[in-house]
């Protein structure tokens, strides 16, 4: 079973049970030849088994809380789970008390009957797009594991777990691309919602101005369902794809979004655009000069550094030696930002958002590669200079939607056996429902090509 809908149908027909689904996921996590030990920071094996048995009993009695009751999912180590400490991929929080309650997003999954099978690994404090974690190990992208390639971050474990069938999807967070980058590098779907749609309560912050909570899974429909549940939609309806014919997809000309693509990404991106055009979509080049203003606005460190410094400064004063030095250096950039610098950034963001909205209004979505390169080898980022260079390259395209406070999704567009490549579609602020329909249409059109 690939998708949540497949599992729900099998549960409804009696062809499987929640206990069997959970046991299959636990077997994948425990496989010594797999990535489970690096993809998870904690596995709730016995609790998951008990919850699965409970869902099976409820289903037999006709009292299952939803069609998805008993389906295993994962939660990033950034979310509060009652009875578990929220470590955020760090060791400096190892003495933190267990959370007193679930984060609302987690509670909503449980209320629907999803079984949380474990906590997934991540970049320390979510502050990198690479997926590297020196404390708990770096899970490998599913592609070319003999070499060992970056999974993308910061929701690295969530992506690897979904790709390797250690659950049917997972909760991640996205501050600059942390759902979409690992999705692109692991060959799955990752979604960044308009930030205010999903509660951030109970989620350890990186930058509250940019943070959002989104799902990673193996299809657009899986992500749409998980997004509906965590955003509080009662009785989500099946996703109805838009029509590809007449779809207007904007491709910004002369911007960094299509710079520095390697040959594999360039070929896959061109092939995807050709297929969509052949299916009746209109791919239109247009000018978006305001994108060039975003790096300038962020030149002193942006919201991520300034807001991370505000949260971490007390902890750094006591336990700086326990941080990954590369993450610590990124956080410390915020120490140098003044209040005036921050206000300038807030004002620049508002101005750029307003200007971009006028230029993108004619389009159904903006299209670009998610990342300009295929998954780099883990060994390539051992040197700090290369770590920073590749990190900024992976974050470059995805971070635009966070700055603009928009919804955005990454879809896999590579051929079987090829290195994973993501296609990114970005919608308007609060146009999440429309973007999911567009993404489902694009997914189907590319599958038929």
Distance CA 408, CA 435 (A): 8
- Calculate ∠ Cα 53-57-61, nearest 5°: 165
- Calculate ∠ Cα 265-267-273, nearest 5°: 100
Q: Which of 68, 87, 67 is nearest to 79 (CA)?
A: 87
Distance CA 6, CA 371 (A): 30
Distance CA 341, CA 65 (A): 49
Q: At what angle do helices 263-278 and 432-448 cross, to 10 degrees?
A: 100
Length of the chain counted residue by residue: 449
Strand partners, 118: 43, 74
Q: How far apart are the first and last CA of the chain?
A: 23
Is-catalytic flag, 154? yes
Segments of 344-385 assigned E as strands = 365-369
Distance CA 252, CA 266 (A): 15
Strand, coil or helix: 366: strand
CB 230 within 8 A of CB 171: yes
Q: Which of 68, 98, 79 is nearest to 1 (CA)?
A: 68
Residue 266, number of CB atoms within 10 A of its CB: 15
Q: Out of 141, 178, 212, 219, which one is annotated catalytic?
A: 178
Q: State whether the Cα torsion 168-142-172-288 is positive or negative.
A: negative
Is-catalytic flag, 94? no
Q: State whether the Cα torsion 14-18-23-29 is positive or negative.
A: positive
3-state helix, strand, coil in the chain (%, to 5): 45, 15, 40
Q: Out of 90, 154, 231, 410, which one is annotated catalytic?
A: 154
Q: Which of 136, 149, 162 is nearest to 215 (CA)?
A: 162
What are the angstrom distances between the C-alpha of 145 and each of 149, 151, 160, 309?
A: 7, 10, 12, 35
CB 111 within 8 A of CB 65: yes
| Residue carrying the six token digits 């499987």 | 16
**Residues noted as catalytic:** 76, 154, 178
């Amino acid at each position: 079973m690939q998708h949540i809908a497949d599992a729900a149908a099998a549960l409804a027909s009696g062809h499987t049970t929640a206990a069997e689904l959970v046991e299959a996921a636990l077997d994948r996590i425990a496989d010594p030849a797999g990535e489970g030990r690096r993809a998870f920071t904690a596995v709730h094996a016995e609790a998951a088994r008990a919850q699965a048995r409970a869902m099976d009993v409820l289903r037999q009695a006709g009292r299952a809380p939803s069609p998805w009751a008993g389906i295993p999912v994962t939660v990033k180590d950034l979310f509060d789970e009652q009875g578990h400490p929220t470590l955020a991929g760090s060791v400096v929080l190892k003495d933190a008390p267990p959370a007193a309650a679930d984060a609302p997003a987690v509670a909503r999954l449980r209320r629907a009957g999803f079984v949380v099978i474990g906590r997934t690994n991540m970049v320390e404090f979510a502050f990198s797009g690479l997926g590297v974690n020196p404390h708990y190990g770096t899970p490998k992208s599913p592609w070319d594991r003999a070499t060992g390639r970056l999974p993308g971050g910061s929701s690295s474990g969530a992506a690897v777990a979904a790709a390797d069938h250690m659950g049917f999807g997972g909760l991640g967070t996205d501050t600059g691309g942390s759902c979409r980058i690992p999705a692109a590098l692991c060959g799955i779907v990752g979604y960044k919602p308009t930030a205010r749609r999903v509660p951030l309560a109970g989620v350890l912050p990186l930058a509250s101005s940019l943070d959002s909570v989104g799902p990673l899974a193996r299809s657009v429909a899986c992500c749409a369902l998980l997004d509906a549940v965590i955003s509080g939609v009662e009785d989500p309806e099946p996703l109805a794809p838009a029509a590809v014919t007449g779809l207007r997809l904007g491709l910004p000309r002369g911007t960094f979004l299509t710079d520095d693509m390697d040959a594999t990404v360039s070929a896959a991106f061109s092939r995807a655009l050709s297929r969509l055009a052949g299916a009746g979509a209109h791919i239109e080049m247009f000018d978006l000069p305001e994108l060039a203003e975003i790096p300038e606005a962020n030149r002193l460190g942006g919201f991520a550094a300034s807001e991370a410094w505000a949260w971490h400064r007390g902890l750094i004063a006591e336990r700086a030696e326990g941080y990954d030095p590369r993450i610590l250096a990124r956080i410390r950039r915020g120490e140098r930002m003044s209040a005036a610098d921050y206000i300038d950034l807030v004002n620049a963001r508002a101005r750029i958002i307003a200007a971009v909205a006028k230029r993108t209004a004619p389009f159904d979505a903006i299209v670009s590669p998610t990342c300009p390169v295929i998954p780099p080898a883990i060994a390539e980022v051992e040197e700090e200079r290369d770590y920073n260079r590749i990190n900024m390259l992976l974050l470059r395209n995805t971070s635009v939607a966070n700055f603009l406070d928009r919804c955005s999704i990454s879809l896999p567009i590579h051929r079987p056996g090829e290195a994973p490549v993501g296609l990114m579609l970005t919608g308007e602020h609060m146009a999440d429902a429309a973007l999911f329909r567009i993404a489902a249409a694009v997914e189907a059109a590319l599958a038929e090509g």
